[in-house]
């Protein structure tokens, strides 16, 4: 079997073939052309399949699968928390319940290979759809360049998480809004089922609702003056219908409330890596992309209508404010500016009326080939969730000592939930609330040692599982009544050994 790095390079070359003018090659050879969207989709799928462990490099997927298994076993969605001992029985809704069920089914059928295949397939569909849409207004060369650029920008965000399963829906939804607004019309009601699916897959559907207002302004700008009142009314009706469609979930209106709870976490968002602003202290793909786009816009004299300018600025602001929004910026910016750029610059106009189509039998053949490669590769390759593997020893130590009230590091919550151990906290920050998370963080950072000691007693903590670099670890090493029972480069476990009052042992250092 070839080395993964060499195969990954080959997959990248497959994607870049979309830049090579496949339509002309097909015409010269007498063979039907291979469309850029099919090359993009197949290339991304193969690349992610080969780099499958990268998709599993997120501890949250462990509890996502656990929740999905719970839903399948109980034939119901959760309305209260059953995984923590600090919020047990508190109201909680899983806004990504459908994605969690899909991940659970994939895991039950194929283990981690099933999870990788499902995630890679969803990402591939997203890139294929994205390329297909761009090829309607741009030449295959430019659509291919955009696809490769988007892949670079989003690679670190392509993980086995619900947002990846929702990506194709997001792209289709935004494409529908872009098309309608560009024609100065209201969107088709046929888009509404997409909103329903999105609302059951991921809480990001709220962003899709917000985009309705932004594209409504663009539609009014593009509409004939005499038609603007009617267009505005239709967009309002569409917006109300979309809100209704988003409530077709097991939680009804609760899905909107759950999304609001996440956005109202305030200062807590600065503690969560994916919600932090982009760090430009070192060069990253987003910085390079933004500077390149700025340079091209200044050089080419790009002109957009005021509503589209506001949309572009809004997408940039979102990407800068929260690093998790990088993929939204990457996918949606080209959809917003493609048609205006093609109108302004003749070199960006496609020479065909529609993207190259593929006979159904040829699509079946491609699917069979990809399926065969998937089966062969998965059979000879073992996927391992890096986050779960790194703390497996610590989790086992917790279970061996029978601990049931574990003070855990924030990022260890998923591993403990997957192992059936009640957690102090996990990444469901909306469940715990702003004040709880801030107090927890302050205690573990030993900003007030007394508060940390009080937390251990107030919650009757019988074990801790923390990162080696945590200040609390060094305190527990010297604290009477606590004993270190496990430690490695990823996690340290202490257990309570007496009921004596805490007392810090003196040390020479």
pLDDT at 352: 66
Residue 421 lies in a domain: yes
Spell out the SS3 assignment of 216-249. Answer: HHHHHHHCCHHHHHHHHHHHHHHHHHHHHHHCCC
Quote the domain boundaries for residue 332: 1-160+325-385
- Per-residue DSSP letters for 100-120? HHHHHHHHHHHHHHHHHHHHH
Q: Of the residues 370, 385, 400, which one is the last residue of a structural domain?
A: 385
Q: Do residues 419 and 471 share a domain?
A: yes
Q: Do residues 436 and 478 share a domain?
A: yes
pLDDT at 19: 39
Residue 88 lies in a domain: yes
Q: Do residues 351 and 483 share a domain?
A: no
Q: Do residues 348 and 415 share a domain?
A: no
Neighbours of 437 (CB within 10 A): 22
Query: Distance between CA atoms of 320 and 326, rounded to whole angstroms?
Result: 8
Q: Do residues 489 and 350 share a domain?
A: no
> How far is CA 242 from each of CA 45, 97, 234, 261, rounded to the nearest angstrom?
31, 20, 12, 20
Residue 368 lies in a domain: yes
> How far is CA 454 from each of CA 161, 425, 444, 449, rounded to the nearest angstrom?
36, 17, 12, 9
Q: Do residues 423 and 441 share a domain?
A: yes
Main-chain phi, psi angles of 485, to 5 degrees: -115, -10
Low-confidence ranges of the chain (pLDDT < 50): 1-32, 506-509
Residue 261 lies in a domain: no
Q: Do residues 341 and 487 share a domain?
A: no
Q: Do residues 364 and 395 share a domain?
A: no
- DSSP code of 269? G
Spell out the SS3 assignment of 124-148. Answer: HHHHHHHHHHHCCCCCHHHHHHHHH
Q: Do residues 367 and 466 share a domain?
A: no
Tally of structural domains, the chain: 2
Q: Do residues 330 and 407 share a domain?
A: no
Residue 286 lies in a domain: no
Q: Summarize pLDDT for 216-274 with one digit per residue, the tens.
A: 999 999 998 889 999 999 999 999 999 999 999 999 988 888 777 776 777 777 777 77
Q: Are 495 and 462 in contact (CB under 8 A)?
A: yes
Residue 425 lies in a domain: yes
Q: Do residues 26 and 129 share a domain?
A: yes
Q: Do residues 432 and 477 share a domain?
A: yes
Q: Summarize pLDDT for 370-397 with one digit per residue, the tens.
A: 999 999 998 888 888 876 667 889 999 9
Q: Of the residues 344, 370, 385, which one is the last residue of a structural domain?
A: 385
Residue 298 lies in a domain: no
Residue 288 lies in a domain: no
């Amino acid at each position: 079997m070839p080395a993964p790095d060499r195969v990954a390079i080959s997959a990248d070359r497959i994607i870049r073939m979309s830049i090579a003018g496949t339509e002309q090659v097909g015409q010269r050879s007498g063979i039907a052309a291979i469309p850029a969207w099919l090359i993009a989709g197949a290339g991304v799928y193969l690349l992610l399949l080969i780099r499958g462990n990268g998709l599993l490099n997120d501890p949250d997927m462990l509890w996502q699968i656990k929740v999905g298994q719970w839903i399948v076993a109980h034939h119901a969605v959760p309305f209260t928390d059953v995984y923590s001992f600090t919020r047990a029985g508190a109201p909680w809704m899983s806004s990504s319940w459908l994605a969690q069920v899909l991940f659970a089914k994939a895991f039950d059928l194929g283990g981690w290979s099933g999870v990788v295949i499902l995630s890679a397939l969803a990402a591939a569909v997203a890139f294929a759809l994205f390329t297909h849409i761009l090829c309607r207004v741009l030449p295959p060369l430019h659509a291919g360049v955009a696809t490769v650029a988007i892949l670079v920008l989003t690679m670190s965000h392509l993980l086995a998480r619900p947002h990846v399963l929702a990506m194709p829906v997001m792209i289709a939804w935004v494409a529908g809004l872009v098309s309608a607004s560009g024609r100065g019309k209201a969107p088709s009601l046929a888009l509404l089922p997409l909103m329903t699916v999105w609302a059951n897959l991921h809480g990001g559907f709220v962003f899709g609702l917000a985009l309705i207002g932004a594209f409504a302004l663009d539609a009014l700008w593009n509409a004939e003056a005499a038609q603007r009142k009617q267009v505005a009314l239709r967009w309002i009706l569409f917006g109300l219908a979309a809100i209704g469609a988003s409530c077709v979930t097991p939680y009804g209106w609760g899905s909107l409330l759950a999304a609001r709870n996440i956005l109202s976490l305030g200062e807590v968002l600065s503690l969560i890596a994916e919600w932090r602003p982009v760090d430009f202290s070192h060069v990253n793909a987003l910085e390079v992309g933004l500077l390149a786009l700025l340079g091209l816009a200044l050089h080419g004299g790009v002109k957009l209508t005021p509503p589209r300018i506001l949309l572009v600025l809004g997408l940039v602001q979102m990407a800068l404010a929260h690093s998790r929004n990088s993929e939204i910026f990457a996918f949606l910016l080209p959809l917003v500016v493609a048609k205006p750029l093609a109108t302004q610059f003749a070199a960006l106009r496609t020479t065909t009326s529609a993207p190259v189509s593929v006979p159904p039998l040829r699509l079946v053949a491609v699917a069979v080939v990809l399926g065969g490669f998937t089966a062969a590769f998965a059979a000879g390759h073992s996927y391992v969730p890096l986050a779960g593997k790194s703390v497996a020893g610590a989790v086992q130590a917790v279970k061996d000592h029978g601990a049931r009230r574990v003070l855990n590091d924030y990022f260890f919550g998923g591993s403990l939930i997957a192992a059936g151990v009640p957690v102090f906290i996990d990444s469901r920050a909306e469940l715990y609330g702003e004040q709880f998370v801030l107090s927890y963080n302050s205690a573990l950072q030993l900003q007030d040692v007394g508060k940390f000691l009080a937390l251990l007693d107030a919650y009757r903590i019988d074990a801790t599982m923390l990162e080696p670099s945590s200040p609390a670890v060094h305190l527990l090493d010297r604290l009477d009544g606590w004993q270190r029972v496990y430690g490695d480069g990823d996690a340290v476990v202490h257990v309570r050994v007496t009921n004596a009052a805490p007392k810090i042992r003196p040390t020479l250092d």
